Amino acid sequence: MDMDIGWKNRALINLSALRDNIRTIRRLAPKSGVMAVIKANAYGHDMQIVARELSCRVDGFAVASIEEGLSLRKVDNELPVIILSGLCDPSQLVSCADGQLDPVIHSLHQVDWIKCHAGRPLDVWLKFNSGMNRLGMNHDDFIHAYRVLEASPCTASIGMMSHFAIAEDLKDDFTRRQISEFNQVAAGLGGKRSIANSAGIMCWPDSHLEWVRPGLMLYGISPLEGETANYGLRPVMELQAKIISLQNLKQGDTIGYGRTYVTARPMRIANLGIGYGDGYFRTVPDSAYVIIHNRKAPIVGRISMDSMTVDVSNIKQAGIGDSAVLWGESPSVAQVAGWAGTNAYEVLCKLSARVPREIMDS
Ligand SMILES: Cc1ncc(COP(=O)(O)O)c(C=O)c1O
């Protein structure tokens, strides 16, 4: 049995919020199958925790690699698992067959590999490049690949997919063009289609088709800007750190490496044992804060690898062992992303393995 060693930092993973977000996705796309995107350790939330909770609530999972797919199979043995980055080597076909993983076929060389596959016939997803210009085939190659795979005994079924480049921008007509080009190439071929990511689910009902592929919104974060655009999503992760030390400083004292912060007045500061080694961002501006006892505690001085310092001069009750919220409801992951000059995806994915993920349900 594991000994309870208390906690210093933790990421609470709220299963109730996860379930609510799935309900929101089902409400927005009631006729589509839901393929939950849980690559990159479920956007940092812990793939095992998320997959366990979702396995009876979604219709499939999507991960990036065979390795992720095989590790997911330890939790779920039933649902389809789609490998978004596809095959990097023909030998991976064996892993797909053994692990019942459905690779995305995005290039003609992979079609050649599949033709020589001798194992169990595979369910595959053929990827069309509708303008993202990352992975996927052009119109003629796509049709050719479809016809070859259709005639091959090595494939059991063929899904068709594409990916949006800018669906979060409702004013940009590019998404409409992507939907139309995808539908055109798929027409007449037959089979299930999928193009909608979170932004597609939220903003482009025409894109829902047979399968949607939510990632970010599953975790309670909207890809759209502004709080009003969050459709009732609930953040699944709350990152917490404990106060491990308190100090009273005089006016003119400095804080942390480089002595970049000079106190303008006497100050009471708290040290949190969390830093960029845990995935917090070294580059946040002076306006960044954490929440302690429901009040803002501004971050002061440089973020270190294992610690950061916050101003608790106005939070009299702050004491050793009290917890600070670094992101969750407030500040939101999107807010932290804004401070760090990145997006919510990167904030979540960067949370390091050093921070234990703990389940909560409320
Ligand atoms: C191919 C593919 N589909 C779906 C998604 C999910 O996107 P989002 O997290 O914006 O919903 C991703 C995420 O990167 C992806 O790469």
Tell me the DSSP string of 256-290: SGGG-EE-SS-EEEEEES--TTTT--TT--TT-EE
pTM: 0.96
Whether 349 contacts 333, CB under 8 Å: no
**Catalytic residue selected from 8, 43, 192, 257:** 257
Q: Write the residue with the smallest CA distance to atom 2 of ligand 1.
A: 163
Alpha carbons 252 and 265: distance in angstroms, whole number? 7
Protein residues whose CB sits closer than 6 Å to any atom of ligand 1: 37, 84, 163, 197-198, 213-217, 223
**Catalytic residue selected from 39, 146, 219, 289:** 39
Tell me the DSSP string of 154-214: TEEEEEEE---SSTT-TT-THHHHHHHHHHHHHTTT-S-EEEE-HHHHHH-GGG-SSEE--
Torsion of CA 273, 244, 271, 257, to 10 degrees: -60
Query: Helix, strand or coil for residue 25?
Result: helix
Whether 115 is catalytic is no
CATH topology of 31-220 equal to that of 237-360? Answer: no
**Could you tell me which residues come within 8 angstroms of residue 313 by beta carbon, excluding any fewer than 6 positions away?**
266, 267, 268, 269
Q: State residue 118's pLDDT score.
A: 82
| Amino acid code (one letter) for 115 | K
Task: Identify the H or E element spanning 17.
Answer: helix 15-28
Question: What is the number of the ligand 1 atom nearest to the C-alpha of 218?
Answer: 11
Residue 29 alpha carbon to ligand 1 centre in Å: 16
Can you name the CATH fold of 31-220? Answer: TIM Barrel (3.20.20)
Task: Identify the H or E element spanning 359.
Answer: strand 357-360
Measure the CA angle with vertex 24, ends 20 and 27; round to 5°.
135
Question: What is the number of the ligand 1 atom nearest to the C-alpha of 43?
Answer: 9
Alpha carbons 24 and 233: distance in angstroms, whole number? 7
- Mind listing the pLDDT tens digit of every residue in the chain (362 residues)? 567 778 999 999 999 999 999 999 999 999 999 999 999 999 999 999 999 999 999 999 999 999 999 999 998 789 999 999 999 999 999 999 999 999 999 999 999 999 888 888 999 999 999 999 999 999 999 999 999 999 999 999 999 999 999 999 999 999 999 999 999 999 989 899 999 999 999 999 999 999 999 999 999 999 998 765 688 999 999 999 999 999 999 999 999 999 999 999 999 999 999 999 999 999 999 899 999 999 999 999 999 999 999 999 999 999 999 999 999 999 999 999 999 999 999 999 999 999 999 999 98
Residue 80 alpha carbon to ligand 1 centre in Å: 17
Hey, CA dihedral for 41, 44, 50, 54, is it positive or negative? negative
Q: State residue 1's pLDDT score.
A: 58
Q: Where are the domains of the chain?
A: 31-220, 237-360
Torsion of CA 85, 90, 91, 94, to 10 degrees: 80
Alpha carbons 95 and 97: distance in angstroms, whole number? 5
Residue 229 alpha carbon to ligand 1 centre in Å: 18
The CATH code for residues 237-360 is 2.40.37.10
Q: Which of 239, 264, 192 is nearest to 354 (CA)?
A: 239
Residue 162 alpha carbon to ligand 1 centre in Å: 10
Q: Which of 45, 16, 7 is nearest to 323 (CA)?
A: 7
Q: State residue 189's pLDDT score.
A: 95
Whether 39 is catalytic is yes
